[in-house]
């Protein structure tokens, strides 16, 4: 049985947990992180490079069946670039939604998933949002 090779963008605690969870399943994780001393590198191969270093990202993608990411702050252009070369899950569109809480909540509401009341407003007029959401609320 050929081993499954998955690339993970990010080398923090979640990357570490993904790598450790994959081993018993025959999944081999490789990590990519700008920080060469990222903690997940203690348990899985880690390639370090900037998120816009396309040559290093191309080397990272070689031999992988798919790419994922461990947190939602990976730059969207990085994920889009990789998605042109191999499957990325969650998709670049999902990442775009995860990175903007207003887009995320609007999307979820629009497809029928219940969300708490929310309102868009600028930082200088939070009173308008409170008129919609009431208290207590999260700002």
Number of C-alpha atoms within 13 angstroms, CB side, residue 74?
32
Mean pLDDT, the chain, whole residue set: 93
- Position 1 pLDDT exceeds 60: no
Pick the more confident residue, 35 or 123. 35
When the candidates are 3.90.1300.10, 2.60.120.260, 3.40.50.20, 3.40.50.300, the CATH number that belongs to 4-97 is 3.40.50.20
Pick the more confident residue, 135 or 10. 10
Q: Which two tokens stand for residue 27?
A: 């999944």
**Cβ–Cβ under 8 Å, residues 79 and 98:** no
pLDDT at residue 66, rounded to an integer: 98
Eight-state DSSP code of residue 1? -
Domain extent listing, the chain = 4-97, 100-133
Among 27, 75, 72, which Cα is nearest to 49's? 75
Eight-state DSSP code of residue 65? S
Pick the more confident residue, 75 or 119. 75
């Amino acid at each position: 049985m050929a081993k499954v090779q998955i690339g993970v963008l990010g080398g923090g605690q979640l990357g570490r947990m993904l790598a450790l969870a994959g081993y018993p399943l025959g999944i081999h994780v490789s990590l990519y992180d700008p920080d060469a001393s990222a903690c997940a590198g203690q348990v899985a191969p880690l390639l370090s490079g900037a998120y816009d270093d396309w040559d290093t990202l191309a080397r990272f993608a070689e031999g992988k069946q798919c790419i994922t990411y461990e947190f939602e702050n990976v730059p969207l252009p990085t994920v889009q670039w990789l998605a042109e070369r191999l499957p990325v899950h969650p998709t670049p569109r999902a990442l775009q939604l995860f990175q903007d809480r207003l887009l995320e909540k609007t999307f979820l509401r629009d497809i029928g998933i219940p969300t708490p009341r929310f309102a868009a407003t600028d930082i200088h007029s939070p009173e308008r949002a409170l008129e919609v959401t009431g208290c207590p609320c999260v700002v």
